[in-house]
Copies of this chain bind each other. A is one copy, B any other.
């Protein structure tokens, strides 16, 4: 899988989102839904929607503000190997909207150190708004982060964005790596 850099020029920069791109929020949301409602929703009930807009889930988003929510999220499938590859070939920044949830600041910091020890704190950006982020690419599951981005916007598929059609869509980390491998040849 090693693709040599075509030129020893500067590494192009990529802003990579955390929640639903690196960290999998869905299992914890399903656990919370089950605790609130006594049963686990079937995939077809929530897929294609925002899960906290389901009936019986109106208090679910409050969980994001509680200590511990972001501390132990599992990795999205393929994210570990995918981000390591990306970090070797591009200048990677982890750009995450953490400030709405103050407890998440330390939890996200520690999560990144645990799962991605080859990245340094110099690559972490915790912000309220991504509107002032200037990188060559942005990989994100939220269209509102990509809409006004001046580089190449890349939509990472998540349950809530299936109908979004304005951006290049990458469905999983295998597709992310393939897409960036092609970019390296350009």
With known contacts A106-B106, A109-B99, A109-B102, A122–B128 Cβ distance under 8 A:
yes
**Beta-carbon contacts of A99-125 to B below 8 Å, as 1s and 0s?**
110100110010000000000111111
Starting from the known contacts A122-B128, A124-B127, A133-B133, 13 additional A-B residue pairs (CB-CB under 8 Å) come to: A93-B129, A93-B132, A99-B124, A100-B121, A102-B121, A105-B105, A121-B128, A122-B129, A124-B128, A125-B125, A125-B127, A126-B126, A134-B134
Name 26 A/B residue pairs within 8 A (Cβ), A-sorted: A13-B132, A93-B132, A95-B132, A99-B121, A99-B122, A99-B124, A99-B126, A100-B121, A102-B106, A105-B105, A105-B109, A121-B128, A122-B128, A122-B129, A123-B129, A124-B127, A124-B128, A125-B125, A125-B127, A125-B128, A127-B127, A132-B133, A132-B134, A133-B134, A134-B134, A134-B150
